[in-house]
Chain A
Amino acid sequence: MKKKLLYFLSLLVMLCLPQKVMSFDIKVLSKNLNVNGYISQSLGICFAQPEDWHPVSNYTQIRLEAGMSLTDHTNIYGIFEFTADSIYNMRNDSGEFKKYMPGRKYMQTSVEQYDQWGELVKEFYVDIAAGKVDFRLGKQSIIWGESDGIRLLDQINPLDIRREFVMWDFENILVPKWMVKAEYYPGFENKSLKDLSLEMVWNPGDIQESRIGFASQGTLRGLPYAGPWGYPQAFIPKPIVDGVLSVEKKSTSIDNSEFGCRLKGSIGKTYLTLNYFQGFSHDFVCKYTKSDILDPMGNTLMTIPVGPVAPDFSLFAPGGPFEGLSVRAHLDGIYRRVRFVGFSINRDLSDFILWQQTSPVLRVEALYSFAQSFNTGGDRLTDLAWVTTKGIVKKDQLRFMVGFDWQVWCRFLNDHKTFFISPQFLQFRVIDHDTELVQLPYYFNKYGQIDPWKIPEVQNYFTILVNTGYDNDRILPEALWCHDFYNNAQFIKARVSFSYGDHWRPEIGVHYFTGDTETYKSFGAYDDRDQIYIKIKYQF
């Protein structure tokens, strides 16, 4: 009963809020501190098993934003966010939890997950305009590039995808860092060159990683439990019965500095950026360290260090020397350095295409990444090949995106507002792809066979985003479809939000995934997470 009360707690809090509260000012040191934000509550219901719909999440989110002008040239801004999922507290004794989410305990709040109250401070920075240079100092997110959904140049801040993968609003899943951004505006312009500026970014060592987790307990351990939106446990065949993944935590150190710069400007009608970044990858690569041979009681009999020869499954087969024994595999998750150059372009194509008084806007983005680390299957494609010393290789990678934004009239569907249509084609190409690259730890399928989630030489994606507004933007439908050609996987994120009044913002939506569930390749990892959700937000 106690648990069920939690269902309604946050809704009650929202209902108790005064109906007319808008953003408000507080006097702080004789300055106006403007405060606004929202409280939201959402319930997700999984329908991947049609015969057994069940709730999978019950998120409560509180976000406060506050800003103040200290002087004519100095502003301070903070975003404070608290997120919690109470579904586990309420439903962990139910049948569907035991059936579909075995071993999962409960989802921590955003604070508990990273065990520090500082997590409540989502962003906090000072803006200083000093002549021709604008500084932003503090915990912040810096967004580069032009592509939506799948990120290319946008490599500075990682994402927190423990809750609903990338289905949450973008600003909610950004993981900010303590950084310094300086943007220099030389004031130089002529007829063809305008808006010239040079942006420099320096991260003095606050290294953050993509926030991920496992969906449940299983053979592999080492990542936090992230609930239904964690990665599924990889299929690890016997004789491995235990996989210990030790994910590196980078210390805050000047040695771990990251640096980026971006030259921006408009040449004629084209807005162009040239980008350079060197820092750390947000995603780890696995490095095998050792294998413990375990007796039937789980005691370590011997340890086999990493070496040119990996333990072979056949040794554990009936009649083999290790018959009846099992293996505990130890792997490190390592965040390697990345370095890339790239560019982005956008251009209104009204000179070439003008239809019903709207024109498409071309978006292009490309990057060339140097010596990017990949896991490889090594020389042998059998057994535990990936636990050999050749587990990691470095390859250059080219990524590009071509897309359009086009506001198109479809008057038979909506005679009041255009449809915003935004298709994108993306290609990732590994240069000198001479060995099998894999996405570890997804190496075996559920039958215990080697069927790795491969990273091919060329990987293509297509996405399309469509939205419009009805009833003076009080009904806002939106749909995003993303297709991974190589893995034949896709997802659809569709929602309808309602903007009646100044405060309440209800929303209903669906997240639908298809893909390979035998190894959990690509979006197949979430194939059994299809959900509908309902959200209600009170904003002020």
Chain B
Amino acid sequence: MDWIISSKEKFFEVFLVLLLVGTILVSPINAQELPQWLKAQRDYIKQSGDTQFESFIKKMETPVALKYGRLWKELLGYDAYELVVDSKIATDIKPGVVINSKNLKDFPGAKQLLPESLYRCVSGEDYLPIAEIKVVPTVCYYWNDNHTEWSKKNKATCSIDPQTGELKGWIAGTPFVHPKNGEELIHNIDRFQKGLDQFSFAPIRYFLYDRSWKLERTQTFHGYWRNYWGRTVVPPMPVDEKNKDIFEKGAVIYFAPFDLKGWTAIRTRYKDPTREDDLIAYIPGLRRIRRLSGANVFDPLPGSDVIWEDWGGNWLKLSNIIWPRDFKIVGEEEMLSPVVWDQPAEINIETGAVKDRFERRKFWVVELKNKNPKHIYGKSVYRIDKERFQDIYDEYYDQKGRLYRTWHNGMGFDYEKGHSGWRWSNECDKINKHYTQIENVTNIDDPSFDDTYFDLRFLNQMAR
């Protein structure tokens, strides 16, 4: 009989252990109250049956995501959901609503929730189509704990030199988590627009469309990018000490079409605001490596509408000495913005039209006026997310005041790394009626490459 008693005791012990383990496993979620925004997401998923979106939201409920989200919200003092939950704007546009060109008129509030240029894209009145906006509840994003910690420190260390307009005291994180003016917001974009340590596109595809919205060319290339400051995930962190004079480097290698195949370029952006970029390229037609003017950021990439100035958010160095500008917050807007999630973009390649899920979010609207008439743009308008400090909709006006180009971003998100990348982007030339739709699945913080992807050996190895 002893063995029977013993078995019962053991069974009880095992039961206790299992109970304990189970409690530990679920405790992070239950130990703290689920944020309001996640409750709203659960309700939406329950009602809509949107299983694709559910898989993303489940990731946002994991302990690491909740922790990063809590830390970032504590630093900001708010989250994106709180900023819009009680909104009285366009109340007809609720989660679950699907907007397209056919039913747009049924949603009069859409005019308030979309910038005019984007509204016209949905309606079909303007060049560059948006095929479908599927509205979901607002998601709250965050940066990782390292980034948050640095951002906290920046409150005491970061400043803008009133004479030169240059950023001082920044190492990593968001320079100004409580920006007081447009200049600080633009510096936030400048330092963390890319939102990650390093990334690769493998591949990236440019779809080029003519004035009748017809696909006219497709370009395929690989891209690698690396920040040397502000690193919070991939060592070395936070700064690559060997390359302290460099802010970032990027490499592109074209694979198609044949007449671009082998065109390879490496760009180096220096920390010194007075030092122009290095741009070195392999030109297949010449079978030679050639240095090009790194200062030239206004020429489009081959065939496309994308210029370096726009690709980098605002590539020219922020210095009053070299390119004096006026920065101004002209307002705040509540808008529908593409969800920053982990699913690839739905791009209709024939027309370039995008289908995506959109959410209500609050943005600062910042106007940047170039004082130098030699600048390709007279004015740029950035819509900067109040939670993520990234620009989603940019409008660029030429020196005559005409809307010249627009840039839209559909960003991606890695909930574990607390970093973001791209899923799709487009740049549209409104004057010449041509646009470039970019399918760019980002390998966020891709650890598989290092500094050797940006030297002449790499260029030689890629050269054909």
What is the interface of chain A, defined by CB distance below 8 A to chain B?
Answer: 22-23, 36-38, 65, 67, 77, 127, 129, 134, 141, 143, 146, 148, 169-171, 174, 183, 185, 191, 194-195, 197, 264, 266, 269, 271, 346-348, 350, 354, 356-361, 405-407, 409, 416-418, 469, 471-474, 499-503, 505, 539-540
B87 at the interface (CB under 8 A from A): no
**B303 x A23 contact (CB < 8 A):** no
Complex: how many Å from CA A141 to CA B316?
Answer: 38
Q: Which of B10-18, B110-118, B257-265 sits within the interface?
A: B257-265
Contact of B291 among A22, A129, A271 (CB under 8 A): A271
Complex: how many Å from CA A295 to CA B409?
Answer: 87
Given contacts A127-B461, A472-B305, 12 further A-B contacts (CB under 8 A): A129-B461, A143-B286, A143-B288, A266-B456, A348-B279, A348-B291, A358-B293, A359-B276, A361-B290, A409-B298, A472-B303, A472-B432
Complex: how many Å from CA A540 to CA B374?
Answer: 40
Complex: how many Å from CA A416 to CA B456?
Answer: 30
A472-B208 contact, Cβ under 8 Å, with A264-B456, A358-B293: yes
**A37 x B258 contact (CB < 8 A):** yes
Complex: how many Å from CA A360 to CA B287?
Answer: 21
What is the interface of chain B, defined by CB distance below 8 A to chain A?
Answer: 208, 216-218, 245, 255-259, 261, 276, 278-280, 284-288, 290-300, 302-305, 316, 374-375, 429, 432, 434, 455-457, 460-461, 464
A417-B300 contact, Cβ under 8 Å, with A67-B464, A141-B287: yes
**A405 x B290 contact (CB < 8 A):** yes
A-B contact pairs, 23 of them (CB 8 A): A22-B218, A23-B255, A36-B256, A36-B258, A37-B258, A38-B258, A134-B460, A170-B285, A171-B284, A171-B287, A185-B457, A194-B455, A346-B290, A357-B296, A357-B297, A359-B276, A359-B296, A405-B292, A416-B300, A472-B434, A474-B216, A499-B259, A501-B216
Q: How near does chain A come to B222, taking the closest CB pair, in angstroms? A: 13
Q: How near does chain A come to B247, taking the closest CB pair, in angstroms? A: 16
* Residues of the A chain whose Cβ atoms lie less than 8 Å from the Cβ of B460: 134, 183
Q: How near does chain B come to A367, taking the closest CB pair, in angstroms? A: 16
Listed from nearest, the 6 A-B pairs whose CB atoms lie closest are: A539-B258, A350-B276, A473-B303, A358-B296, A195-B456, A143-B287
Q: How near does chain A come to B122, taking the closest CB pair, in angstroms? A: 24
Complex: how many Å from CA A406 to CA B375?
Answer: 18
Contact of A347 among B287, B291, B297, B461 (CB under 8 A): B291
A539-B259 contact, Cβ under 8 Å, with A134-B460, A499-B217: yes
A174-B297 contact, Cβ under 8 Å, with A269-B278, A502-B217: no
Complex: how many Å from CA A36 to CA B305?
Answer: 26
Complex: how many Å from CA A418 to CA B280?
Answer: 17
A407-B299 contact, Cβ under 8 Å, with A348-B294, A358-B293, A361-B293: yes
**A406 x B303 contact (CB < 8 A):** no
* Residues of the A chain whose Cβ atoms lie less than 8 Å from the Cβ of B457: 134, 183, 185, 195, 197
Contact of A357 among B290, B298, B432 (CB under 8 A): B298
Complex: how many Å from CA A473 to CA B219?
Answer: 13
* Residues of the A chain whose Cβ atoms lie less than 8 Å from the Cβ of B298: 357-358, 409, 418
Complex: how many Å from CA A169 to CA B305?
Answer: 27
* Residues of the B chain whose Cβ atoms lie less than 8 Å from the Cβ of A360: 293
* Residues of the A chain whose Cβ atoms lie less than 8 Å from the Cβ of B284: 171
**A354 x B276 contact (CB < 8 A):** yes
**A472 x B292 contact (CB < 8 A):** no
* Residues of the B chain whose Cβ atoms lie less than 8 Å from the Cβ of A357: 295-298, 316, 374-375
**A417 x B305 contact (CB < 8 A):** no
Closest Cβ neighbor of B457 among chain A residues: A185
* Residues of the B chain whose Cβ atoms lie less than 8 Å from the Cβ of A406: 293
Most A-side CB within 10 Å, residue of B279, B286, B304, B305? B286
* Residues of the A chain whose Cβ atoms lie less than 8 Å from the Cβ of B258: 23, 36-38, 539-540
* Residues of the A chain whose Cβ atoms lie less than 8 Å from the Cβ of B287: 141, 143, 170-171, 174
* Residues of the B chain whose Cβ atoms lie less than 8 Å from the Cβ of A22: 218, 256-257
**A407 x B292 contact (CB < 8 A):** yes
**A501 x B217 contact (CB < 8 A):** yes
Complex: how many Å from CA A146 to CA B287?
Answer: 11
* Residues of the B chain whose Cβ atoms lie less than 8 Å from the Cβ of A346: 290-291
Complex: how many Å from CA A183 to CA B461?
Answer: 11
Closest Cβ neighbor of B374 among chain A residues: A356
* Residues of the A chain whose Cβ atoms lie less than 8 Å from the Cβ of B316: 357
* Residues of the B chain whose Cβ atoms lie less than 8 Å from the Cβ of A170: 285-287
Most B-side CB within 10 Å, residue of A195, A356, A359, A416? A416
* Residues of the B chain whose Cβ atoms lie less than 8 Å from the Cβ of A195: 455-457
* Residues of the B chain whose Cβ atoms lie less than 8 Å from the Cβ of A194: 455
**B293 x A65 contact (CB < 8 A):** no
* Residues of the A chain whose Cβ atoms lie less than 8 Å from the Cβ of B261: 23, 36, 65
Complex: how many Å from CA A406 to CA B457?
Answer: 25
Q: How near does chain B come to A540, taking the closest CB pair, in angstroms? A: 7
Complex: how many Å from CA A361 to CA B289?
Answer: 13
Contact of B285 among A37, A169, A264, A356 (CB under 8 A): A169
**A407 x B461 contact (CB < 8 A):** no
Q: How near does chain A come to B448, taking the closest CB pair, in angstroms? A: 11
* Residues of the B chain whose Cβ atoms lie less than 8 Å from the Cβ of A169: 285
Closest Cβ neighbor of B242 among chain A residues: A189
A197-B286 contact, Cβ under 8 Å, with A77-B464, A271-B291, A357-B298: no
Complex: how many Å from CA A354 to CA B321?
Answer: 14
**A418 x B299 contact (CB < 8 A):** yes
Closest Cβ neighbor of B219 among chain A residues: A502
**A500 x B285 contact (CB < 8 A):** no
* Residues of the B chain whose Cβ atoms lie less than 8 Å from the Cβ of A539: 257-259
Complex: how many Å from CA A350 to CA B218?
Answer: 33
* Residues of the B chain whose Cβ atoms lie less than 8 Å from the Cβ of A183: 457, 460
Q: How near does chain B come to A164, taking the closest CB pair, in angstroms? A: 16
A197-B456 contact, Cβ under 8 Å, with A36-B256, A405-B290: yes
Complex: how many Å from CA A347 to CA B280?
Answer: 11
**B256 x A416 contact (CB < 8 A):** no
Complex: how many Å from CA A22 to CA B261?
Answer: 12
**A348 x B293 contact (CB < 8 A):** yes
A502-B257 contact, Cβ under 8 Å, with A127-B461, A143-B286, A472-B304: yes
Q: How near does chain A come to B305, taking the closest CB pair, in angstroms? A: 7
**A502 x B218 contact (CB < 8 A):** yes
Complex: how many Å from CA A23 to CA B276?
Answer: 37
Complex: how many Å from CA A229 to CA B130?
Answer: 55
Complex: how many Å from CA A129 to CA B288?
Answer: 20
Most B-side CB within 10 Å, residue of A127, A358, A539? A358
* Residues of the A chain whose Cβ atoms lie less than 8 Å from the Cβ of B374: 356-357
Contact of B286 among A36, A148, A348 (CB under 8 A): A148
* Residues of the A chain whose Cβ atoms lie less than 8 Å from the Cβ of B304: 472
Complex: how many Å from CA A409 to CA B399?
Answer: 15
Complex: how many Å from CA A348 to CA B292?
Answer: 7
Contact of A500 among B216, B290, B456, B461 (CB under 8 A): B216
* Residues of the A chain whose Cβ atoms lie less than 8 Å from the Cβ of B461: 127, 129, 134
* Residues of the B chain whose Cβ atoms lie less than 8 Å from the Cβ of A358: 293, 295-296, 298
Q: How near does chain B come to A517, taking the closest CB pair, in angstroms? A: 31
